Amino acid sequence: AQSVTQLDSQVPVFEEAPVELRCNYSSSVSVYLFWYVQYPNQGLQLLLKYLSGSTLVKGINGFEAEFNKSQTSFHLRKPSVHISDTAEYFCAVMESGQGGKLIFGQGTELSVKP
């Protein structure tokens, strides 16, 4: 069965510092990978996605992620964070042939401090 693990529940970081939010998954079939961001009391906004092609994916707000098939990882990175990046971040996996279902990781709370 597929699963998604976000290794850090909370990541505190200072403004303008780099950040990496880790995500690992397990699956026996091909997958699509996603990162979503959720601000308080709001729905999820798509940051970026990997469907095929280049393993380095660039998204909105200066975020990027790299798909590493051998390590089954899809870590999210940003070279310099802003206060406004404070939010909950979810990694999600969609297995092929599963009707488009997303399985989410537990979420990582990114807290950017001045």
Partner 1 sequence: GAVVSQHPSRVICKSGTSVKIECRSLDFQATTMFWYRQFPKKSLMLMATSNEGSKATYEQGVEKDKFLINHASLTLSTLTVTSAHPEDSSFYICSARTSGGGKDTQYFGPGTRLTVL
CB of 20 to partner 1, least distance (A): 20
**Three-class DSSP category at 84:** helix
Pairwise CA distance, residues 112 & 21, whole Å:
13
Backbone angles phi, psi at 83, to 5 degrees: -55, -40
Residue 44, interface with partner 1 (CB under 8 A)?
Answer: yes
Residue 45, interface with partner 1 (CB under 8 A)?
Answer: yes
Pairwise CA distance, residues 54 & 69, whole Å:
12
| CB closer to partner 1 out of 36 and 74 | 36
Pairwise CA distance, residues 2 & 95, whole Å:
8
Residue 90, interface with partner 1 (CB under 8 A)?
Answer: yes
Each residue 19-38 as x (binds partner 1 by CB under 8 A) or -, in order, gives -------------x-x-x--
Determine contact, residues 80/17, Cβ cutoff 8 Å. yes
Q: Which of 43, 54, 70, 114 binds partner 1 (CB under 8 A)?
A: 43
- Binding positions for partner 1, 50-79, rule CB under 8 A: 51-52
Pairwise CA distance, residues 84 & 33, whole Å:
24
Scanning 11-19, 21-29, 47-55, 69-77 for contacts with partner 1 by CB under 8 A, the matching segment is 47-55
